[in-house]
Structure 1
Amino acid sequence: MTIRPATEADWPAIWPFWREIVEAGETYAYPLGATSDQARAWWFDGSHVVVWDEAGTVLGTAKMGPNRPGRGSHVGTASFMVDPAARGRGLGRRLGEHVVQWHRDQGFAAIQFNAVVETNRAAVRLWQDLGFVVVGTVPRAFDSAAHGRVGLHVMHLDLS
């Protein structure tokens, strides 16, 4: 089991669970019905991307980097996806810990998650366990397939 930098060659392994997660309509606001090429361009958008590789099988991925350019680039951000078939094994936590350490190592002052769906209780709990706090919630900003319009949390971790 290793977390390693992703390459474009990893995309065929990421794409099936990326599509499944997005199409479920519960955690990401990417457009439904995206093609593989569109999704790859969104995920590999210049961010630092890693994968969780277990004996040659990609089970999860994260992308990270500055939340904003220029004068906001001292605050990082990240996005995570774990293959639904591999959930419950601690991969999300390990990816989260990796991302926090990566931001520390790169000299970021903080990490800000812009859009954590409030009904995604497992993610909210994980980020809180890792020290993030909810600094605000945008009401009814996400159209959940199961719950209708729900809030998006803005979450923050001070790295100083």
Structure 2
Amino acid sequence: MIRTMTKADFIAFWPTFEAVILAQETYAFDPTMTWEQAYIVWCESALTAFVYEENGKILGSYYLKANGMGPSSHISNCGYMVGELARGKGIARALCEHSQHMAVELGFTAMQFNSVVSSNEVAIKLWEKLGYKIIGTIPQAYCHGKLGYIDSYIMHKQLVPPTFTR
């Protein structure tokens, strides 16, 4: 069900992506972003991207990349999107669990989410159930489409103990 994303998959995923960014409730992406810009951000700028496919339909996706460079390149970062009609079916959980396994396989020792919008209670509860902790609050960091300026959280999970080698 979860596999590497292709360009054709992103075309099929685009309506979900566009709906999420237009809502301005969870992602700090420009709502006027074009399909091409979105593809670059989600697929080409990331280390890898995956889709959750069921019965030939793309129900969700995630990207995986390093959160920082050089001395911070051991920490990964992911972004997840699930189509509105597919929510509440365990797809985000499956994508997150898959991303953690992939992150470890690719040599990352931790995963960090840099901006989890404080009103996204469903995601926050899921991330906490999966072992992520809120390690910081960024006051009024997100201009929500309906609520105005609200806080965002930085969430982190250690995946494996880091080993120091030089």
Task: Answer yes or no: is 1:69 the counterpart of 2:40.
Answer: no
Partner of 1:129: 129
CA drift at 1:47: 2.4
Unpaired runs of 5+ residues, structure 2, are 161-166
After superposing the two structures, state which structure 1 stretch, 35-44 or 127-136, moved more. 35-44
Q: TM-score, normalised by structure 1?
A: 0.96
How many residues are matched?
A: 159
Aligned-pair Cα RMSD in Å: 0.9
Partner of 1:140: 140
- What SS does the aligned partner of 2:141 have? strand
Partner of 2:13: 14
Partner of 1:3: 2
- What SS does the aligned partner of 1:26 have? coil
CA drift at 1:76: 0.5
Partner of 1:33: 32
What is the letter of the counterpart of residue 93 of structure 2? Answer: R
Query: In the aligned structure 1, how far is the partner of 2:39 from the partner of 2:153?
Result: 25
Query: In the aligned structure 1, how far is the partner of 2:110 from the partner of 2:42?
Result: 22
Partner of 1:94: 94
Deviations 1:51-80 (A, max 9, x none): 001121111000012111222110001000
Query: In the aligned structure 1, how far is the partner of 2:144 from the partner of 2:47?
Result: 26
Unpaired runs of 5+ residues, structure 1, are none
User: Contact conserved, 2:46 with 2:63, CA < 8 A, in 1?
Assistant: no
CA drift at 1:99: 0.8
Give the % identical residues: 36
